[in-house]
């Protein structure tokens, strides 16, 4: 039986103990009813997996002694998905959960011309990533960025492989993302893919991306919802 897992915001090699925050302390002591001497698992989301022993089962400040440390290598892929927030928040949250489970390294909320929801609750969405990381028993938490305007991201992006998935007839994306992945003989050192809002990118945005060196790709014959497109892209780029 696996140990219960909890997220801690930071960890250094010199640490011998961790003081859990109030929410985690309450869950350990009052919900799970763990006692002194029982073991649990901690991760900082940056590759450290810690086995700890409860040494002070305080419901507000539970103290855990670190008994074993494992360092988990980062995912072999280095994938960033820039995706438009959705009017239906629950659908966007579903995407974040699945992208974390699949192993996406970085997620950028992308504000486009046709993006209906311009503001998001970043703290809540980061908590969803943490929950998905723990549930899928990972030690790497995706980096979740503040929302970025389309033009700003295009100007700053420097990944070796830059892709934009769109459904416009002109310019038409004649290459499939699956085909791009098949042609790679080794994992790209960094991949960024743009996923547009409901209603797709505007023609001007697509032209701007192509002028900046982005490769237009198709995700298949069917027209996908934004969150579905994001999950398909994550699966093709992260899982081999």
pLDDT in tens, 106-148: 999 999 999 998 889 999 999 999 999 999 999 999 999 999 9
Same domain, 234 and 158: yes
Contact 147, 85 (CB under 8 A): yes
Residue 16's CATH number = 2.40.240.20
The set of residues, in sequence order, having a beta carbon less than 8 Å from that of 174 and lying 6+ positions away, is 216, 218
Domain boundary among 22, 55, 71: 71
Which pLDDT score, from 0 to 100, does residue 63 have?
97
DSSP per-residue string spanning 4-63: PEEE-S---TT-SEEE--HHHHHIIIIIS---TT-EEEEE-SBSEEEEEEEEE--SSS-E
Same domain, 205 and 182: yes
Same domain, 90 and 38: no
Which pLDDT score, from 0 to 100, does residue 1 have?
60
Same domain, 125 and 154: yes
Which pLDDT score, from 0 to 100, does residue 111 have?
97
Q: Is residue 168 over pLDDT 90?
A: no
Which pLDDT score, from 0 to 100, does residue 74 have?
87
Same domain, 166 and 208: yes
Which pLDDT score, from 0 to 100, does residue 183 have?
86
Same domain, 177 and 87: yes
Residue 205's CATH number = 3.40.1280.10
**Alpha-carbon distance 208 to 171, whole Å?**
12
Same domain, 96 and 203: yes
Task: Provide the domain count of the chain.
Answer: 2
Same domain, 92 and 46: no
Which pLDDT score, from 0 to 100, does residue 186 have?
67
Is the pTM higher than 0.85? The answer reads yes
Same domain, 96 and 201: yes
Residue range(s) defining the domain that contains residue 185: 79-238
The residues that bridge with 63 in the sheet, in sequence order, are 19, 56
């Amino acid at each position: 039986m696996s140990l219960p897992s909890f997220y801690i915001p930071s960890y250094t090699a010199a640490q011998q103990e961790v003081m859990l925050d109030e929410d985690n302390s309450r869950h350990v002591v009052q919900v799970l009813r763990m006692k002194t001497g029982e073991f649990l698992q901690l991760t900082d989301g940056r590759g450290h997996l810690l086995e700890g022993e409860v040494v002070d089962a305080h419901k507000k400040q539970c103290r855990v002694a670190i008994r074993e440390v494992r360092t988990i290598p980062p995912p072999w892929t280095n994938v960033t998905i820039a995706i438009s927030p959705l009017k239906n928040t629950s659908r966007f949250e579903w995407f974040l959960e699945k992208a974390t489970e699949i192993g996406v390294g970085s997620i950028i909320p992308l504000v486009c011309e046709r993006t209906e929801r311009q503001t998001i609750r970043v703290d809540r969405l980061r908590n969803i990533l943490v929950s998905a990381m723990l549930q899928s028993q990972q030690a790497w938490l995706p980096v979740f960025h503040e929302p970025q305007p389309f033009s700003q991201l295009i100007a700053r992006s420097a990944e070796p492989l830059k892709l934009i998935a769109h459904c416009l007839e002109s310019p038409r994306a004649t290459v499939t993302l699956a085909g791009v992945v098949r042609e790679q003989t080794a994992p790209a050192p960094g991949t960024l893919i743009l996923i547009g809002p409901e209603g797709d990118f505007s023609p001007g945005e697509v032209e701007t991306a192509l002028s900046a060196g982005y490769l237009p790709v198709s995700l298949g014959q069917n027209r996908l919802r934004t969150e579905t497109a994001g999950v398909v892209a994550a699966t093709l780029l992260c899982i081999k």
